[in-house]
Amino acid sequence: MKDVNEVARNFDFHGEALDEIFDTYSTLRNGCPVGRSENYGGFWFLTKSDDIFAAEQDPEAFSVYPSMMVPSVSEGIQLPPIDIDPPEHTAYRRILLPLFTPQELKKLEQPIRDTARKLAEDFAKEGTGADASYHYSRPLPTIIFSRLAGYPEKDWPKFDKWVDDIIYERVEKPEVANQASKDVFSYFENLLDNWKDNGESANLMDYLCRAKIDGRPLTRDELLRYCYLLFLAGLDTTAWSIRAGLWYLANNPEDQQKLRDNPELIPLACEEFLRTLSPVQVMARTCLKDTVIRGQDIKAGERVMLVFGAGNRDEEIFPNPDKIDIERQENRHLAFGGGIHRCLGSNLGRRELVVGIEEFLRAVPQFKPADPSEKWHGVGPLKLAF
């Protein structure tokens, strides 16, 4: 029996800690739903779904300053709109809304389908033992993002390397992450320097170059920060989700067969993958005023982690919460957040996930793990036998 206070003190959510994270969540939710960890300079954590939703919906008490991510991915650079509090947040978020309307998503539907189909068919030709992460779940969102952002599709491996360095090396090798951040900014600066107004608003760069905030054009700095944020927000999250779905299906042949026989269940199954195996397990806030949650005093200025991954398995909200039930109907999960910063790309991410799973099942025969030691989390290799 683990000592809950020790579990709380040592609570971490990066790297190997993810191997056992669902047991940790269960111990904390039941024994210490609001607690304090000594990692990363010390932080409070909330593990109950209701507490997380309440904090998400109270930006006056819970600020996103200085960054939503711990450790930060952007070295003190505020990224709009995710690192901005109200009232400024509203205008910064509003600028992006036209990029994510149902009409814009509709334009991407066929490219997503065609890209997924081609990648899945090529993957099947690679033969047994091929890596579904490298050949499928990573390139799909990166190629689709290239259409949105207007960079050459062939650059996708470069983008994935930068994502790895920034997101996965920032704890152990911050210098590698910082260099990759600089490279990404330079890449977008180069695109911006070569941008010409051809009168059409076809991609992100066209759109941002013409966008106005409070009646003025965006500064060069703001524009580059938007590009950087979208690159960080949209690639790794979607790649992780597709990989996690394939990992689950590889390890659960009966459910894989069920989805092959009943493809209309795939959207429900994908919501369940998002709930249980979500790429964003935690987001950070800073408490702006002294607050009490479940009897715990949290002082102004202290860091608070909203542990979405724990809230997503809260037994008070989800019956049998640790079971991945691909037909679960009620699914009010937190994979995309739940307040004013709720994910703007949720419909795009969802579509890539659903179409990604559909096309993979269509092109690749019954598959299982080629290396059963590979874990549910991350965007690392997922070798499949088929």
- For ligand HEM, which residue of 321, 345, 356, 378 counts as binding (CB under 6 A)? 345
Site string for ligand HEM, 167-196 (x = CB under 6 A): ------------------------------
β-strand partners of 292: 297
- For ligand HEM, which residue of 82, 120, 304, 363 counts as binding (CB under 6 A)? 82
Q: Which stretch binds ligand HEM (CB under 6 A): 153-161, 208-216, 276-284, 319-327?
A: 276-284
Contact (CB, 8 A) for 41 and 255 = no
- For ligand HEM, which residue of 349, 359, 363, 384 counts as binding (CB under 6 A)? 349
Site string for ligand HEM, 232-271 (x = CB under 6 A): -xx--xx--x------------------------------
Window 352-371: residues binding ligand HEM (CB under 6 A)? 353
β-strand partners of 119: none
Euclidean distance between CA atoms 97 and 51, whole angstroms: 28
Contact (CB, 8 A) for 142 and 239 = yes
37 makes contact with ligand HEM (CB under 6 A): no
Nearer to ligand HEM, 181 or 238 (CB): 238
134 makes contact with ligand HEM (CB under 6 A): no
Euclidean distance between CA atoms 3 and 32, whole angstroms: 11
Nearer to ligand HEM, 34 or 230 (CB): 230
Euclidean distance between CA atoms 9 and 21, whole angstroms: 14
- Specify the DSSP element, H or E, that contains 160: helix 156-163
Least distance in Å: CB of 20 to ligand HEM?
22
Residue type, 307: V
Euclidean distance between CA atoms 140 and 2, whole angstroms: 41
**Ordered DSSP codes for 269-301:** HHHHHHHHS-S---EEEEE-S-EEETTEEE-TT
Backbone angles phi, psi at 70, to 5 degrees: -125, 120
Nearer to ligand HEM, 135 or 351 (CB): 351
Establish whether the linkage from the previous residue to 81 is cis, with ω within 30° of 0.
Answer: yes
283 makes contact with ligand HEM (CB under 6 A): yes
Residue ranges that bind ligand HEM, judged by CB under 6 A: 56, 68, 81-82, 93, 96, 230, 233-234, 237-238, 241, 278-280, 283, 335-339, 341-345, 348-349, 353
